[in-house]
Amino acid sequence: MNSSIKNNFIVSVIIPCYNVVNYINECVKSVVNQDYEFIELICIDNASTDNTYQKLTELKSKYGFKLFQCTLPGANNARNLGIEKSSGLWIQFLDADDILYPSKISHQINLIKNSKKDVDFIVASRFHKDLKQNIKTVIPSNDKFIGILESNFGTTSCNFFKAKTLIHLNGWDANLKSSQEYDLMFRIIQHDYQFIIDLKPLTLIRERGIGQISYRNPKLKWNQFVDLRLDIINYLKKEESNYYLSNEIIIKQILFDIIRILIKYDEKRALFIYNKYLIDFKPKKSLSTGFLYLLIFNIVGFRRTEKIKRFLSLN
């Protein structure tokens, strides 16, 4: 390794690919066009049934990256294979329908070099494009626990991870079909690894809809979403009791708003969680819970308000 490489951080970019033939070219180009020199690009075909692998082979011939096939289903298995095959000190995960802006990696490497902390991962801002092509800027929370509970602590493609931290935690949980990134980040902060917040959005997250777990199986998606939040709440009660007591109202409001979504897909589970965790809680107005809903709730309670909501389309 020459001296210039020794003085820089090699970054492995890992892209899991499943039926993304219409997206992967633009995604790979966004990595190739990075202004940071020391990048190792690894693409993992995850048993695609379209022409994704053929397209990856074509792109490999053009750009010369590493290409592997993962026969185990699920993006987490593909990401873990990418970690195994990587040689970088830092890892940039990138979903195949997302895009990095040209200075994304160099910017975050500079943040690490200039930080007074021994940084283990970066929690980053992002641009988010929805299915209607509307773009908004999302800035992550400074509070690690509230951020994860609210799903506002960065995402797979905008965050940035130290390789040895991922290896120590045995990578991604391949059993999860949803909330994988927040499960990983929760495990990271449980070990008190150091993070910094990146306020500059240099990643474009694009909703794809079809093929995503939330569209194929919303009941599974929201149950796993809730499972992780309950794990976090139980952890806070046991290990961070002072923090929990100081933020109890905020935490319960987050849980309340979440089970209002869960009840659409799994009424029995949502009611069980409400009765166990929130039976004495008085919710407040929030982005997802409106004034009229609260007015009815205070009269007839949670279950009946949800039934009324179905007829009146209340927030």
Give strand pairing partners of 13.
Answer: 41, 92
CA of 202: how far to CAs of 27, 124, 163, 165, in Å? 14, 9, 21, 23
CA geometry: angle 172, 210, 100, nearest 5 deg: 55
Same domain? For 185 and 284 the reply is: no
> Tens digits of per-residue pLDDT, 139-169?
999 999 999 999 999 999 999 999 999 999 9
Same domain? For 31 and 96 the reply is: yes
- State the pLDDT at residue 164: 96
Cα separation of 58 and 53, whole Å? 9
- From start to end of 142-284, where are the E strands? 160-162, 195-198, 203-206
Same domain? For 239 and 114 the reply is: no
Helix (H/G/I), strand (E/B), else coil: 68: strand
- Residue 261 main-chain phi, psi, to 5 deg: -80, -45
Same domain? For 165 and 184 the reply is: yes
Number of domains in the chain: 2
Same domain? For 196 and 298 the reply is: no
- State the pLDDT at residue 76: 94
Out of 211, 236, 261, a domain closes at: 211
Q: Is the dihedral of CA 101, 106, 109, 110 positive or negative?
A: negative
Same domain? For 205 and 233 the reply is: no
Same domain? For 204 and 222 the reply is: no
Out of 185, 211, 237, a domain closes at: 211
Same domain? For 204 and 96 the reply is: yes
Q: Which residues of 143-182 are buried (b: 16+ CB within 10 A; e: fewer)?
A: ebbbbbbbbbbbbbbbbbbbbebbeebebbbbebbbbbbb
Reported pTM = 0.90
- Best CA proximity match to 99, nearest among 208, 210, 183, 181: 208
- State the pLDDT at residue 256: 97
H-helix or E-strand spanning residue 100:
strand 99-100
Q: How many CB atoms lie within 10 A of CB 120?
A: 21
Same domain? For 34 and 77 the reply is: yes
Tokens of 275: 């009765």
- State the pLDDT at residue 177: 78
Same domain? For 8 and 126 the reply is: yes
Tokens of 153: 């602590």
Residue ranges making up the domain that contains 234: 217-312
Same domain? For 197 and 222 the reply is: no
List of the chain residues with pLDDT < 70: 1-8, 209-216, 313-315
- State the pLDDT at residue 29: 98
CATH number of the domain to which 24 belongs: 3.90.550.10
Out of 167, 192, 211, a domain closes at: 211
Same domain? For 82 and 178 the reply is: yes
Cα separation of 122 and 109, whole Å? 10
* Sheet strand arrangement including 66-69: 66-69, 39-45, 11-17, 90-93, 160-162, 121-124, 195-198
